[in-house]
A and B are shown apart, each in its own frame.
Chain A
Amino acid sequence: MQDVPVYNANPTVFAPSKPSKSSLLSAHSLWWDEELDVKAESEDEEIKPDEIFDLIRSITDPEHPLTLEQLAVVSSPQVAVSGNFVNVEFTPTVPHCGMSAIIGLSIRVRLLRSLPNRFKVDVRVKPGSHNSENSVNKQLNDKERVAAALENDSLIDVVEKCLSTAGRRGQTP
């Protein structure tokens, strides 16, 4: 570990927002503690930004044992859905962060695996938050380059490690 440069040894930590509630809890029931019927096929629930945010909020930062949400690298308002387009923006903790591509790749892989393939997903760094914004964005949104990156075993190991906590969805373990 010692020979890897540390880009931000002491990043700011933010309090995470609460985990989003299950859709099964209805807000307007007349009865207390009403058990909602999971068996019923009531109305459809569309995929909304907070559901996508849930997918990526608990990804671990490659440099710290903290989640992307705790470091405010991703946040709920930075996810947008319109029709079949998903736009995810993330903010590196420091503008020279060499880990941005790994973070972006982790987000992309997570969404690749978790969203229906009808969606076209764009993963970008927040404008003005990184020194080499364009090149990182290009890397992350070029299908060929993403595919090539995923052929690299050591790279995929790092990504898998970041993703190993993604299933927590904002819950503390």
Chain B
Amino acid sequence: MESTQRLVQTWMGSGRDAEIDQIVTGFSGGQTSLLNIVQALGEYLTSEEDVLRTKGVQLLGTVIRRCPPDKINRQATRVLLTFFTSKLDDTETIIPALNALVSLTTLPNFISADATETMNALFKHVNMKAHVQSTRHHVFAIVDSLMARHRDALKNMGDSFLRGYITLADGEKDPRNLLLAFSIARVIAIEFDITNHVDSLFDITFCYFPITFRPPPDDPYGITAEDLKQSLRLCLSATPLIGRMAVIQFLEKLTAGNPVTKRDTLETLSICLPVYGPGVAQEFSRKLWNLLKLEILQPTDPDTEQKALDTTQVLINTIYSSEVADTGESYDVEGLAKEICEECLEVLREPEKSQAKPAIKVLGALAGTRPSVSRYTLSQAIPYLTNLFKSLDELLNRPQVLLLLGDLLEIVYKLPTSPRKDGEPEGTLLLSPFKDDILGVLLAGLKATETVGPALLGLKKLSQMKGLLEDDEFTIVVRNINDVLQSDADDEDTGEVVLDALVTISSIAPKHIEEGTLPLLFLSLPDRTPARDAHTERAKIWRTLSSLTKLCIPPSLFETLVVRLSTKLELICAPRNQTDIVDVEAASAYAHSILKALATTLDVKITSKHVDVAKYIDRLLPRLYHLFFYVASVYEPSHMVTANHRVLEVAGQIITLVVQVNPIERQQVFAKALEAAYHSGDPKALSQGIQEIPMDVKFQPFGIPSQRDLTALYSAAVIAFHNGVTTFGDPTDPQGLTKVVLDDEYTPFQRDSACSSMAALLNKHLDGQPETFLSQRKIFWDTEIADVKQPFNRRRNALEGWVWITKALVIRSHPFVEWMVNSLFEIFDDENLAWDAAKAVGRVASGEDGILTKRNHAVIRILHAQKYVIAVLPKVIDGLKSSTPPRQTVYRIALISLITSVPKQTYIGQMETLMSHLLRGLDVPDMDMRTDLINALLAIAESMEQREPITTHASSIIAAMLRSCKFSEQPTSPALRIAALRYLGILPHVVRYEVLHPHKSIVIRELGKVLDDPKRDVRKEAVDARTSWYICSPPIKETL
């Protein structure tokens, strides 16, 4: 007792938490009682001094809130309630008393009778208007708590509760309180008998609609307008009793509101109408539709238009919700749906006008409502459109009519499918009565140039409709589309639409494409290369090939493609008589396009994980190798179509793609054959073909100069091997490739392919003998690269090899990387190799390059680029700081090379330091490097991260970019100018206006000069960049 007394007295002076904690602990532990506390407080609770009374009640309230609820027994609860309610009439104690009541109402011993008493006390003593937000919040919290725990007691209070609460809630303005008030009002509206209070309840809720609240900046409470909107909507949609009053208000908001209010009203209506019921909906149907119509037929923005369409659907659904069970027979409806339908058809009388499209959307919306309405709508709309198409007066408008029909089909296609007894989707069922009619019109549309596009779109949609078209109908559709395909239409757009339709059908009914379309396409590929100047014919070949790549994705179609195209390839590259090849370059280009088509299709198939790709290691690769081997052994160099590097490259791609998807065991067998062909002079081990490779011709691709280019097809297979596949020779110097890399008697093409296979093998097989590897590399570096007595070309070749070896190690974050890169820094002083070495610092980190890929089973460690940058970037920066030109320039080159080679995430955190160095990099003489650098900077700006460094350096950036974007000043390239212009164009989105303001007029003036650039693409970027500067302006001050 004494201690309680002391604690209370101390707290009165100090107001610290510590004392309260001690009291609560004492009370919970039984050392003191509530009586003790009240006694100790006695003098304060009755004090004449206002402050003391307030504090007294506050202390008691705080103790109640903190102590365990079960410690306060029934009797204590009762006493406390009487005490606190009695404190409500004292202006000094009402606030802590309300606060205490909030906790009191949650106690387990607080019973229903207490709830009634509490409410009555509130009604009697609390005048809401006299209190601040937090106090009012207590009142709402008390009602909310009682609503949750003692709802029945409140209900039993009847009218007195409703009247009282409505007075309490009336005029509330604070969003925090409103959130509570709305949820209380919703419960009242749903569960209480509000017959006598509908009007007042409506008044205290609807007055908040629409919510225009905008949270203040840095609002600690985090209440958004959306929270309030949702909560108010729940409240307004709680009871049908307020339906009439609400709809009248909604109508008014729709007539006069701004777009935001309109959208809010539409959304709210969509939620409320089903609750208000068919009666209310029917009563206002005409008025509502008249306003909805305006938003749809003369839309101000797509969002409002869509919401109006949604509301129309809700309206119709609500009106017809009471109709008797649907028999599925009738094609007639009465009332609003019929009227709307008729109005839309009226609009459709002018299909070329802007309202026709929205009218279709309305019809589509109707089709998405109740079954009877859908059937009626489509039975009106589709015959109307097909008749319009057939009408002679509307010949000119046929394309529009078909487009409208297509739009309607699209909407029906997208209708949510409800489960039907026969399992067919809704759209199919709805359309099947009109199928013949639609099909007839669309097929007729294919016959005229103007309508062919829209007709194809329609046919595509019709084909997609599951189960709608029968087999024989597909045959007819495909045959008709094939006619379009064959009619030598040069129109590229139509070509694309035709293909699009065919691709859709090939995924649904591949048989029809295989039998109907493919033969035609293959037939249109000539067996002989078209002449060099036959541009149209060549364009047609490309179109055919690109159609084939898109169509022949399914396994059966792909098989046909492989057979037909490899035969075609043999005819072109190895005709019976080699003198048939007139123009070897044109023939190479044709062969290249065929191979390209195969490679593209394979790539798509692998991406979609088609399993049939693997078998082409037996079916396609031997034929391909044979063709290249045969031509190389038999033909005169002047007739070797397959000797072209681009042909070899794309053939290599095919080989890589097919090999990479095969399992280790199959690859091992393939590797053996590869070795036999390339190293043991036995080409037949790998190839298979009709034309015999003569026995007397020596086959040594790594030896005989004329055959050396064939090594590209060796590398192409090697780079795709799993690391479990054993290859011959020393894995640290695989296949003696080093010689190819170094020796100047090999061409760059041959060196490149040697480098790539060397990198791929090292990457996968390094684990074997790291020590040998390291010592060998040391010797290689010292004798081939660092030794200035070596011929320059040889050193340069060696450096290139070094780059590739390092690349193979960087990607797997190998510990040797550090040493290998440090070696590069060592020759930064070298007169001849410094720049190459500097570029190499970045190049080694450029990643996969299509060779060291996951698909090719390379060993890749995650974050390898990150690790590389962390290790190397500081060295480059140090070098930049500590050196002087020209060595500094070398470091700058290294920095640019590094930044443009690695993903931006690896260095974006350091932009603060990097920015100034990089900006100076914009003056390096190498145009391509500058272009790459600007593109890298552009990517950072576009990411909208790290905007601060851009802001800090804005003026130098602007100056540098303006220098780079002009044609006449320092030498530039179109790509460089485009990059610089894009950067200038994005600046206003990245940097605050006040930073740019001083430059605005200069930039606009300078960009004005670029508008006259000799290149059209540059001018386009200049226009866009200039526009972006024209419209950048200070942010509009938000007025509240």
A10–B931 CB distance below 8 A: no
Q: Could you tell me the distance between the alpha carbons of A117 and B1020 in the complex, rounded to whole angstroms?
A: 16
Q: Could you tell me the distance between the alpha carbons of A113 and B535 in the complex, rounded to whole angstroms?
A: 39
Q: Could you tell me the distance between the alpha carbons of A2 and B891 in the complex, rounded to whole angstroms?
A: 66
B542 partner, pick from A32, A41, A51, beta carbons under 8 A: A32
Is B585 engaged at the interface, CB distance under 8 Å to the other chain? yes
**Residues 131-173 (chain A) with a chain B CB within 8 angstroms:** 160, 163, 166-167, 169
B974–A38 CB distance below 8 A: yes
Is A6 engaged at the interface, CB distance under 8 Å to the other chain? yes
A166 to chain B: which residues have CB within 8 Å? 1027
Is A83 engaged at the interface, CB distance under 8 Å to the other chain? no
B1031–A116 CB distance below 8 A: no
Is B300 engaged at the interface, CB distance under 8 Å to the other chain? yes
Is A5 engaged at the interface, CB distance under 8 Å to the other chain? no
Is A94 engaged at the interface, CB distance under 8 Å to the other chain? no
Task: Give B1015's nearest chain A residue, CB to CB.
Answer: A45
**Residues 158-180 (chain B) with a chain A CB within 8 angstroms:** none
Task: Give B353's nearest chain A residue, CB to CB.
Answer: A10
A18–B298 CB distance below 8 A: no
Most buried by A among B589, B1023, B1026: B1023
B593 to chain A: which residues have CB within 8 Å? 31-32
B545–A32 CB distance below 8 A: yes
B532–A167 CB distance below 8 A: no
Is B945 engaged at the interface, CB distance under 8 Å to the other chain? no
B1015–A23 CB distance below 8 A: yes
B1030–A113 CB distance below 8 A: yes
B973–A38 CB distance below 8 A: yes
A38–B493 CB distance below 8 A: no
Nearest CB in chain B: distance from A144 CB, A: 21
Q: Could you tell me the distance between the alpha carbons of A44 and B974 in the complex, rounded to whole angstroms?
A: 11
Nearest CB in chain A: distance from B541 CB, A: 8
Is A55 engaged at the interface, CB distance under 8 Å to the other chain? yes
**Residues 997-1040 (chain B) with a chain A CB within 8 angstroms:** 1008-1009, 1011-1012, 1014-1017, 1019-1020, 1023-1024, 1026-1027, 1030-1031
A27 to chain B: which residues have CB within 8 Å? 535
A117 to chain B: which residues have CB within 8 Å? 1008
Nearest CB in chain A: distance from B745 CB, A: 29
- B533-561 to A contact mask, C-beta < 8 Å, 1/0: 00100100010010000000000000000
B975 partner, pick from A2, A39, A55, beta carbons under 8 A: A39
Is B3 engaged at the interface, CB distance under 8 Å to the other chain? no
**Residues 96-144 (chain A) with a chain B CB within 8 angstroms:** 113-118
Q: Could you tell me the distance between the alpha carbons of A2 and B262 in the complex, rounded to whole angstroms?
A: 13
- A39-68 to B contact mask, C-beta < 8 Å, 1/0: 111001101000100010000000011100
> Taking A24-B1017, A51-B1019 as contacts, is the C-beta distance between A13 and B585 under 8 angstroms?
no
Is B145 engaged at the interface, CB distance under 8 Å to the other chain? no
A33 to chain B: which residues have CB within 8 Å? 596
Is B646 engaged at the interface, CB distance under 8 Å to the other chain? yes
B298–A39 CB distance below 8 A: no
B1011–A115 CB distance below 8 A: yes
A167 to chain B: which residues have CB within 8 Å? 1023-1024, 1027
Task: Give A115's nearest chain B residue, CB to CB.
Answer: B1011
B927 to chain A: which residues have CB within 8 Å? 39
B352–A12 CB distance below 8 A: yes
26 examples of A-B residue contacts, CB within 8 angstroms: A9-B355, A10-B297, A10-B353, A12-B352, A12-B353, A15-B400, A22-B1017, A23-B1015, A30-B589, A32-B545, A32-B589, A33-B596, A38-B978, A39-B975, A40-B973, A41-B973, A44-B1014, A47-B1016, A47-B1019, A64-B298, A65-B299, A113-B1027, A114-B1026, A167-B1024, A167-B1027, A169-B1020
Known A-B contacts: A9-B298, A47-B1016. Give 19 more (CB < 8 A).
A10-B355, A12-B352, A12-B353, A13-B356, A15-B403, A18-B493, A23-B1016, A30-B532, A33-B596, A38-B1017, A39-B928, A39-B974, A40-B974, A45-B1015, A47-B1019, A64-B298, A117-B1008, A118-B1012, A167-B1027
Q: Which 6 A-B pairs have the closest CB atoms?
A: A116-B1012, A44-B1014, A32-B593, A114-B1023, A38-B975, A23-B1016
